[in-house]
Structure 1
Amino acid sequence: MDSVLNSASAQLASQIENHLHNIYCSFEAEEVTQLVSDLISIMRLGSVEQLPTPYKNHWSQQDIIMITYGDSLHRADERAMNTLHHFLNEQCDGVISGVHVLPFFPYSSDDGFAVSDYYQVRESVGEWQDIQRLSSEYRLMSDLVINHGSGESLWFDNFVKGEGVGHDYYFTASPDDDLSEVVRPRTSPLLREVETADGLKHVWCTFSHDQVDFDFRNTAVLKEFVQIFRFYLDQGVNIFRLDAVAFLWKEAGSRCLNLDQTHEVVRLFRTLIEYACPNAMIITETNIPSRENLSYFGNANEAHCVYNFSLPPLLLHALITGQNFYLKQWMMSMPPAQDGTSFFNFIASHDGIGLRPVEGILPDSEVDLMIETMQNFGGHVSWRALDDGAKKPYEINIALFEALQGTTDGKDNWGEARFLCAHRIMLALEGIPGIYLHSLLGTLNDHERVEMTGQFRSINRHQWDYTALEALLTDEASHHYRVFSGLKDLIAIRIQQKAFHPNATQFTLHLGEQLFGFWRQSIDRTQNIFCLNNISAEPASLSLSDLNLISTQDWSDLLSGQHYEDLQGAILLAPYQSVWLSNTIG
Structure 2
Amino acid sequence: MSAFPLALPDDAELSARLSARIGQHWHRLLAALRPLYGEGAWEGELAARLLGAAIARPADLRALDQVREAAPDWFQKPEMVGYCTYIDRFGGTLAGTRARLDELSQLGVRYFHPLPLLKPREGDSDGGFAVADFRQVDPKLGSIDDLRALASDLRARGISLCLDIVCNHTADTHDWALAAKAGDAKYRDFYHVVEAADQVAAYEAHLGQVFPQTAPGNFTFVPEMQGHVWTTFYPFQWDLNYANPVVFIEMMDVLLYLANQGAEVFRLDSAPFLWKRAGSDCRGLPETHQVVRAWRAALAIVAPAVALKAEAIVGLAEVLPFLGEPEQPECHLAYNNTAMTALWAALATGDTRPLSTCLTQALAKPAGAGWLTYVRCHDDIIWGALKGVIPDETLARISDFYAGAVPGSFADGQAFQAEPGAVRSTNGMAASLAGVRDGADNAAALARLRLLYGVTFALDGIPAIYMGDERALTNDPDYAVEPDHDDGRWLHRPRMDWTRNGGPTHAAIARFAQLRQGRACLHAGNPARPLLTADPALLAFERADRGGDRLICLGWFKGDAMTTDLSGLLGSGDWIDLLDGTDVNAQSVAMAPWGLRWLVKKNG
Q: Is this a same-fold pair by TM over 0.5?
A: yes
Asked if 1:326 is matched to 2:354, the reply is yes
Output the aligned Cα RMSD. Answer: 2.7
Structure 1 unaligned regions, length at least 5: 474-479
Asked if 1:37 is matched to 2:43, the reply is no
Paired position in structure 1 for 2:408: none
Q: What does 1:149-160 align with in structure 2 at a 5 Å threshold?
A: 149-160=170-181
Q: Contact 2:339 / 2:359 at 8 angstroms: preserved in 1?
A: no
Name the CA shift for 1:365/1:34 in 2 (closer, same or farther; >3 Å). Answer: same
Select which of 47, 51, 69 maps to 2:86.
Answer: 69
Residues of 2 paired with 1:5 and 1:235: CA distance?
19
Asked if 1:383 is matched to 2:417, the reply is yes
Q: Contact 1:348 / 1:400 at 8 angstroms: preserved in 2?
A: yes
Q: In the TM superposition, what is the alpha-carbon distance from 1:129 to its structure 2 partner? A: 2.8
Paired position in structure 1 for 2:563: 541
Asked if 1:20 is matched to 2:33, the reply is yes
Give the secondary structure class of the aligned counterpart of 1:310.
helix
Name the CA shift for 1:149/1:30 in 2 (closer, same or farther; >3 Å). Answer: closer
Residues of 2 paired with 1:71 and 1:176: CA distance?
44
**Aligned residue identity for 1:395:** S
Paired position in structure 2 for 1:477: none
Residues of 2 paired with 1:427 and 1:325: CA distance?
19
The superposition leaves residues 166-197 of structure 1 with CA deviations (integer Å, 9 ceiling, x where unpaired) of 4432211243222111232221121111112x
Q: In the TM superposition, what is the alpha-carbon distance from 1:40 to its structure 2 partner? A: 3.1
Structure 2 unaligned regions, length at least 5: 1-11, 405-410
Q: In the TM superposition, what is the alpha-carbon distance from 1:120 to its structure 2 partner? A: 0.8
**Residue identity (%):** 23
**Aligned residue identity for 1:559:** L
Select which of 219, 223, 239 maps to 2:265.
Answer: 239
Q: In the TM superposition, what is the alpha-carbon distance from 1:163 to its structure 2 partner? A: 2.8
Q: What does 1:134-283 align with in structure 2 at a 5 Å threshold?
A: 134-136=150-152, 137=154, 138-163=159-184, 166-173=187-194, 174-177=196-199, 178-179=202-203, 180-187=205-212, 188-196=216-224, 200-283=226-309
Residues of 1 paired with 2:290 and 2:542: CA distance?
36
Q: In the TM superposition, what is the alpha-carbon distance from 1:97 to its structure 2 partner? A: 1.0
Q: What does 1:266-415 align with in structure 2 at a 5 Å threshold?
A: 266-300=292-326, 301-376=329-404, 377-385=411-419, 390-393=420-423, 395-405=425-435, 414-415=444-445
Q: What does 1:432-443 align with in structure 2 at a 5 Å threshold?
A: 432-443=462-473
The superposition leaves residues 399-455 of structure 1 with CA deviations (integer Å, 9 ceiling, x where unpaired) of 11111118xxxx986111011001100000111111111322211111201354211
**Aligned residue identity for 1:286:** A
Give the secondary structure class of the aligned counterpart of 2:478.
helix
Q: In the TM superposition, what is the alpha-carbon distance from 1:32 to its structure 2 partner? A: 5.5
Name the CA shift for 1:442/1:170 in 2 (closer, same or farther; >3 Å). Answer: same
Residues of 2 paired with 1:347 and 1:490: CA distance?
14
Paired position in structure 1 for 2:550: 528
Select which of 104, 107, 122 maps to 2:120.
Answer: 107
Residues of 2 paired with 1:471 and 1:305: CA distance?
34
**Aligned residue identity for 2:552:** F
Paired position in structure 1 for 2:498: 470
Name the CA shift for 1:321/1:235 in 2 (closer, same or farther; >3 Å). Answer: same
Paired position in structure 1 for 2:136: 120
Paired position in structure 1 for 2:583: 563
Q: Which moved more, 1:537-546 or 1:570-579?
A: 537-546
Residues of 2 paired with 1:154 and 1:46: CA distance?
24
Select which of 452, 460, 464 maps to 2:492.
Answer: 460
What count of residue pairs does the alignment treat as equivalent? 554
Q: In the TM superposition, what is the alpha-carbon distance from 1:21 to its structure 2 partner? A: 1.3
Residues of 2 paired with 1:139 and 1:287: CA distance?
23
**Aligned residue identity for 2:538:** L
Residues of 1 paired with 2:96 and 2:365: CA distance?
36
Q: Contact 1:42 / 1:227 at 8 angstroms: preserved in 2?
A: no
Q: In the TM superposition, what is the alpha-carbon distance from 1:272 to its structure 2 partner? A: 0.8
Name the CA shift for 1:10/1:129 in 2 (closer, same or farther; >3 Å). Answer: same
Q: In the TM superposition, what is the alpha-carbon distance from 1:302 to its structure 2 partner? A: 0.6
Q: Contact 2:83 / 2:104 at 8 angstroms: preserved in 1?
A: no
The superposition leaves residues 141-175 of structure 1 with CA deviations (integer Å, 9 ceiling, x where unpaired) of 00000001112333222111023984432211243
Name the CA shift for 1:250/1:505 in 2 (closer, same or farther; >3 Å). Answer: closer
**Aligned residue identity for 1:122:** D
Residues of 1 paired with 2:376 and 2:308: CA distance?
20
Residues of 2 paired with 1:66 and 1:46: CA distance?
29
Give the secondary structure class of the aligned counterpart of 1:353.
coil
Asked if 1:422 is matched to 2:440, the reply is no
**Aligned residue identity for 1:462:** P
Name the CA shift for 1:38/1:182 in 2 (closer, same or farther; >3 Å). Answer: farther
Residues of 2 paired with 1:66 and 1:7: CA distance?
35
Give the secondary structure class of the aligned counterpart of 1:124.
coil
Q: Which moved more, 1:90-99 or 1:178-187?
A: 90-99
Q: Contact 1:161 / 1:167 at 8 angstroms: preserved in 2?
A: no
Select which of 147, 169, 172 maps to 1:131.
Answer: 147
Residues of 2 paired with 1:454 and 1:5: CA distance?
49
Name the CA shift for 1:319/1:3 in 2 (closer, same or farther; >3 Å). Answer: closer
Q: Contact 2:402 / 2:433 at 8 angstroms: preserved in 1?
A: yes
Q: Contact 2:84 / 2:113 at 8 angstroms: preserved in 1?
A: yes
Paired position in structure 1 for 2:530: 508
Paired position in structure 1 for 2:407: none
Q: In the TM superposition, what is the alpha-carbon distance from 1:542 to its structure 2 partner? A: 2.5
Q: Contact 1:557 / 1:579 at 8 angstroms: preserved in 2?
A: yes
Select which of 83, 91, 101 maps to 1:88.
Answer: 101
**Aligned residue identity for 1:470:** W
Q: Contact 1:101 / 1:141 at 8 angstroms: preserved in 2?
A: yes
Q: Contact 2:575 / 2:601 at 8 angstroms: preserved in 1?
A: yes
Name the CA shift for 1:118/1:282 in 2 (closer, same or farther; >3 Å). Answer: same
Give the secondary structure class of the aligned counterpart of 1:303.
coil
Name the CA shift for 1:221/1:337 in 2 (closer, same or farther; >3 Å). Answer: same
Q: In the TM superposition, what is the alpha-carbon distance from 1:8 to its structure 2 partner? A: 4.7
